[in-house]
Each structure stands twice: as C-alpha cells, then as structure tokens.
Amino acid sequence: MLTFQQLDRYSREAAAAANPKTLIIHIHGGGFVASASSAHQYYLRKWAKSIPDSVVASIDYRLAPESSYPAALDDVWQGYYWLVKHSRDILGITPK
C-alpha cells in the first residue's frame, strides 16, 4: 500500500494547510536500475518552495536487477494512481 510514509506529520499538515492547487509528480531517472528520489531532494525542495500553490510528490520504484521488468513501471503506475485518487481527500486538489 502506498502512503505518504516518507513525509512526517508536519509536512503532510503543512501541505494540506497551504491549500495547493497543483500537484507536481516527479519520477526520477536512472533507467529503472539506479538512483532514488532522495538523490533529487535538492531541486525537488526548490520546486516545492518556489512554485506557488503546489505540492511536489516524487515516486520511487523498485530497481533492477533485484526486481524484474515490469516491477518499476507497476510501481510508477500505482504511485500515480494513488496520488490522483487521494489528492482531493488529502490535499484538496481536484485532478483534471
């Protein structure tokens, strides 16, 4: 089950209290074999602070060779689906 597990309670409450209008979904590069969202925190945090009325969510995925194809694509799809499905309830953002 996907959750906002990497966000602490303050971050979740602050994001919802900011009354965002835009959800930016980031998927890190790495060819499904390398990297993680944590490697991109510098610019993701910069986006979150500088783009008005927005929340940035970065989706991590299982990497090869430990997880075979299409595990990474499934993770990305499930993360995207979860964010779209729950963005209204958690953040007040209506998907378009």
Could you read off the pLDDT of 26-78 as tens digits, one per residue?
Answer: 888 766 566 666 777 788 888 888 888 888 888 888 888 888 989 989 998 99
Q: What is the pLDDT of residue 14?
A: 64
Q: Give domain status of residue 2, yes or no.
A: no
Q: What is the pLDDT of residue 23?
A: 86
- Tell me the three state secondary structure of residue 23: strand
Q: What is the pLDDT of residue 2?
A: 37
Residue with tokens 């971050």: 11
For the segment 7-24, the average pLDDT, to the nearest whole number, is 65
Contact (CB, 8 A) for 76 and 27? yes
Per the model's pLDDT, the better-predicted residue between 7 and 75 turns out to be: 75
Helices 9-17, 71-91: crossing angle, 10 deg rounding: 60
Euclidean distance between CA atoms 94 and 71, whole angstroms: 28
Q: Model-level pTM? A: 0.72
Q: Give domain status of residue 31, yes or no.
A: yes
Q: How many domains does the chain have?
A: 1
| Residue 77: HSE in the Cβ half-sphere, 13 Å Cα cutoff | 5
Q: Give domain status of residue 58, yes or no.
A: yes
* Domain assignment of residue 32, given as a range: 9-91
